[in-house]
Structure 1
Amino acid sequence: MDGKKILIFGFISDNFLEISSFLEKNKIKKAEIEEKISYMLNTILSSKESTRSACDFKIQKMYHCLLQDFNNEASKKRCYIANQNLLYIAEEWLKLDENVLFVLLYENPIEILRQKIFSNHKFCFKDILMDWLRYNNLMLEFYSKNNNKCILMNYSNYHNSLIKYLSKHNNPDMVYAENDAYIFKNKELFDFLLESLINKDYQIINDSYEKLEKNSLSPICKRKFSSENVEKEIVDLFYFIETNSILKSKNKSLLDFIFDIQEDLEKLHQENLSQINNLNQTIETKNKTIQNKDDLLNFQAQYGTAKSRIQNQLSYKLGQTMIVNSKSFLGCLLMPVILLGIVISYKQEQKIYKRKIEKDPSLKLPSLEQYPDYQEAIKFKNYLSYRLGQVIIKGFKNPLSIILLPYEIVKLIYKFRKR
């Protein structure tokens, strides 16, 4: 194996991002056909359960051209393909091409659990650990059969071991690097708690991990936890949890108080808005009333009122004069003369009005219906004064009607008294 064609797989939490970056820095490029290989793997695995033996999966002839493309690309440069599902076709690939280096990576199950916890996604401890166990048992099975074609490494400590291995196989320009893994506060305590969980309920996981470490090119020495430090950190952790709980309670009370104030302010604001709207409506109503009164006064100042117009009509004047003069004997004697004077005066007024209109049409009075007090004024036409004047005018229009005029007058007066 010259290390020009590398197939990488393993149960890894970061989807091979770190090792891909490491290989790229060392001029080992990702194969251009990697996406096509991923598609091939998805197609092959879709019809079978990945829990079965790796040798059960076959690479159909239609995909053999991809392996040839990988060979052609590797003849020009060092390249790799990294995919977790490569495990399931590794046996078949090895039969078709023996000149391939398999890099088998594994992670401590504690690391897998820690990454899952910090991913903020819901998961089941048992499901994750069982998936890890099934996969790594299959990988150990493949390694035991083909250890001369592959290297097994701990993903947390692969850098320098991989460099040393590849440097011995025609890759002398590899760059040594230190594993700069992210370490967070209380990591030792966190790992201790996870390891305690695994030791208590999943001993089979520990057994599998020990087998991986035993065959690994880059094993990690088992950590020793200081009981004193762990005890102190546990106490600190519980204190932190308790303090955090108190703070959360206080924060909740403070938030509730703030929300109550906010609701009160919102309620007060709505009440103020309602009062302002009511005041604005009142002001608007009063302004309209004032405007209507101003319009009425302006109209009356220019055209008078409908009441005065009706009272100035000849019918009303004649009837009103008859009623007033009928109250005395002298008035009755002078009534014909007075009525005649009213008729002459009315006709003169009408002539003067028509002349004014001819000179200035804007002086023409509007119809009675246009007056604001028309509905009130129209009642005057039902008064005795107006009706009496109408009877007199009607009687004098026809000479024959003059004979019946006294009868009509008496009849009208009797009718009104009866009401």
Structure 2
Amino acid sequence: MQKKILVSGFVLDNFLEISSFLEKNQIKRAKIEKKILHMLNTIVPSGELIHLAQGYKIQKMYHCLLQDFDKEAKEKECFISDRNLIYIAEDWIQLDQNILFILFYESPVEVLKQKACLNDKFYINDILNSWLKYNTFLLDFYKKNRERSILINYKDFDVALCKYLNEKYYFNMVKIYKENSSIKSKNLFDFLLEYMLNSNEKCLNCYKGLEGYSLNPNFNSNDLPFKNLESEIINLFQILKISEILSIKNKSLLDFIFEMQEYIEKLYYQHGNCLKEITFKKSQTIETKNKTIQENLSQINNLNQTIETKNKTIQNKDDLLNFQAQYGTAKSRIQNQLSYKLGQTMIVNSKSFLGCLLMPVILLGIVISYKQEQKIYKRKIEKDPSLKLPSLEQYPDYREAIKLKNHLSYKLGQSAIKFCKNPLKLWSLPYEIFKIIKNK
């Protein structure tokens, strides 16, 4: 069963009827349609060149769009509709043998009548020439590809198309009956258009050719324009007379309707005040309730904001505690640095004579202990890099802790380390310590 349908033809309603008909029968418009029509506008030139009797090649860069259409058609039955599809139909049917073309045409008289109803400029010869060039091209394509295409008159197409698709391609189509426009009486304008068409032999022959291959031909050679013109005109005047009588009766009916309308309006105004009062009371009640609801919502929003703020504060404190539990504080890390430990020891031991005597030994012990701790720390990191402590800048209390580097303890320790690296300058250490203490 064919799942890919391309709809084309010279119809003026932009395929609204056929699109609605297909979608009601569960054949959906393809999602890729817009992209394919953009490709079509790129390939097929606009203006007068569009009517040249030749097809156009689908460039290789657009083959992916055809593949996307093929993928979509595997999931569901779908269609694409556009008048200009016929110009690339020959090339497309070579690329994809599983495409079904539904080709529509309209009687040139129908086209002229529809054009006359529009506000556009109405040039009959231009319209007929466009109709002739397009439908000649369409008919030639159909004759070459009858196995992959259907030719059908756009007027009352539904019954014939349903029957054909159901029987040949096993679609499950439902007939959608609509008003048969053929039973409407012709007016004088219709006769004039038919007379003009009768004088255009090329258009008439092309239309006969289309009808000869059509599923639902509407052309009747015994009913050509103006063969029964006299009887048609008599019928037309009879219809006009009946229309005049109906117009008089319609006027009487309209007068009665207007009287009834005035009576209904009086009843409406009598009850108008009552309805206004009820509406006003209801609106007041609703307004009061809305205010109460808004106030409650405002309180709820305020509470939610307060809760959210407290939750953020609690979360920040939890994050700080978790960080300190795992890595300690920046203050403790600075206090554990060798500079700070040496300086602190020097201050404590300088307060007694015995402390001053033992100070070199104590400082040496601190240095040895510090180096041992650093070795242990490096071994741990080599075994498990995740144990490496973050940089001081990452600690929450970094700004406060960095102030410790300006303390006397830290500066004394830095001076001691500096002079220990160069023993020849140890004699000036007491002077340096005195200078640091004086500046503090």
Range into which the TM-score falls when normalised by the shorter chain:
0.5 to 0.7
Give the CA RMSD over aligned residues: 2.5
Other-structure match for 1:101 = 100
Superposed, 1:384-403 pairs within 5 Å as none
Deviation for aligned residue 1:168: 2.1
What's the counterpart of residue 211 of structure 2? 213
Corresponding position of 1:204: 202
Deviation at 1:189, TM superposition (A): 4.1
2:250 matches 1:232: no
Question: 1:113 is matched with which residue?
Answer: 112
Question: Does 2:18 align with 1:19?
Answer: yes
- Give 1:169 deviation, angstroms: 4.2
Aligned to 1:393: none
User: Which SS does the other structure have where 2:102 is aligned?
Assistant: strand
Contact 1:189–1:233 at 8 Å: present in 2 too? no
Distance 1:163 1:234 in 2: 35
Instruction: Verify the 8 A CA contact 1:9 1:83 in the aligned structure 2.
Output: yes
For 1:154-193, what per-residue CA distance to the aligned partner results, in whole angstroms no more than 9, with x for missing partners?
Answer: 0003211111121124544210122425579753544322
CA–CA separation in structure 1 for the residues paired with 2:178 and 2:217: 14
Q: Counterparts of 2:75 and 2:36 in 1: how far apart (Å)?
A: 19
Q: Tell me if structure 2 keeps the 8 A contact 1:26–1:175.
A: yes
**Alpha-carbon deviations, 1:320-376, whole Å to 9, x = none?**
xxxxxxxxxxxxxxxxxxxxxxxxxxxxxxxxxxxxxxxxxxxxxxxxxxxxxxxxx
Q: Structure 1 residue runs of 4+, over 4 Å off? A: 181-186, 233-239
Amino acid in the other structure paired with 1:231: I
C-alpha displacement of 1:79: 0.5
Q: How far apart, CA to CA, are the structure 2 residues paired with 1:32 and 1:164? A: 27
Matches within 5 A, 1:265-276: none
Structure 1 residue aligned with 2:146:
147
- Partners of 1:171 and 1:191 lie apart in 2 by 39
Measure, in 2, the Cα distance between the counterparts of 1:172 and 1:75.
15
Paired residues for 1:146-225 under 5 Å: 146-181=145-180, 186-187=185-186, 189-200=188-199, 202-222=200-220, 224=223
For the 8 Å contact 2:208–2:219, the answer to whether it is kept is no
> Does 2:52 match 1:45?
no
Give yes or no for contact 1:37–1:66 (8 Å, CA) kept in 2: yes
SS in 2 for 1:54: coil
Partner of 1:85: 84
Letter matched to residue 204 of structure 2: N
Provide the C-alpha distance between the structure 1 equivalents of 2:207 and 2:187, rounded to a whole number of angstroms.
19
Query: Contact 1:5/1:99 (CA < 8 Å) preserved in 2?
Result: yes
Residue 75 of structure 2 aligns to a residue in which SS? coil
Which residue number in structure 2 is paired with residue 68 of structure 1? 67
Structure 2: 5+ residue stretches without partners? 242-440
For 2:4 and 2:30, the matched residues in 1 are separated by 9
Paired residue secondary structure (2:120): coil
Distance between the aligned counterparts of 1:54 and 1:177, measured in 2?
Answer: 36
SS at match of 1:50: helix
Q: How does 1:319-358 map to 2 (within 5 A)?
A: none
Say if 1:54 and 1:91, in contact at 8 Å, map to a contact too: no
- How far did 1:38 drift? 1.1
Asked whether the 8 Å contact 1:156–1:179 carries over to 2, the reply is no
Q: Which residue of 2 aligns with 1:260?
A: none
The AA in structure 2 aligned to 1:215 is Y
What's the offset of the Cα at 1:52?
2.0
Q: Which amino acid in structure 1 is aligned with residue 232 of structure 2? A: V
**Overall identity of the aligned pairs, in %:** 47
How far off is 1:227 after superposition? Answer: 3.5
Distance 1:172 1:235, change over 3 A: closer
The count of residues paired between Structure 1 and Structure 2 equals: 237
Contact 2:186 2:236 in 1 (8 A): no
**Distance of 2:188 and 2:177 partners within structure 1:** 24
**Equivalent in the alignment of 1:416:** none
Larger Rg belongs to: 1
**8 Å Cα contact 1:4-1:79 kept in structure 2:** yes
User: Alignment partner of 2:26: what SS?
Assistant: coil
Amino acid at match of 1:213: E
User: 2:147 & 2:184 partners in 1: Cα distance?
Assistant: 41
Q: State the match for 2:133 in structure 1.
A: 134
* Compared CA separation, residues 182 and 218, structure 1 to 2 (3 A): closer
Q: 1:157 touches 1:220 (CA, 8 Å); kept in 2?
A: no
**Counterpart contact for 2:7–2:81, Cα < 8 Å:** yes
What CA distance in whole angstroms lies between the structure 2 residues aligned with 1:199 and 1:228?
A: 17
SS of the equivalent of 2:177 reads: coil
* Matched letter for residue 51 of structure 2: T
Give the 3-state SS of the residue equivalent to 2:155 in structure 1.
helix
Cα gap change, 1:183/1:166 in structure 2, threshold over 3 Å: closer, same or farther? closer
Q: Which amino acid aligns with 2:209?
A: K
Using a 3 Å threshold, how does the CA distance of structure 1 residues 140 and 176 change in structure 2: closer, same or farther?
Answer: same
**Secondary structure of the residue that 1:177 maps to in structure 2?**
coil
Gaps of at least 5 residues in structure 1 are 240-419
Shift of 1:235: 5.8
- State the AA in 2 paired with 1:230: E
Q: TM-score, normalised by structure 2?
A: 0.50
Quick one: which amino acid aligns to residue 177 of structure 1?
Answer: I
Per-residue deviation, 1:101: 0.4
For 1:123 and 1:184, how far apart are their aligned partners in 2?
A: 26
SS class of match (2:49) = coil
Distance 1:172 1:82, change over 3 A: closer
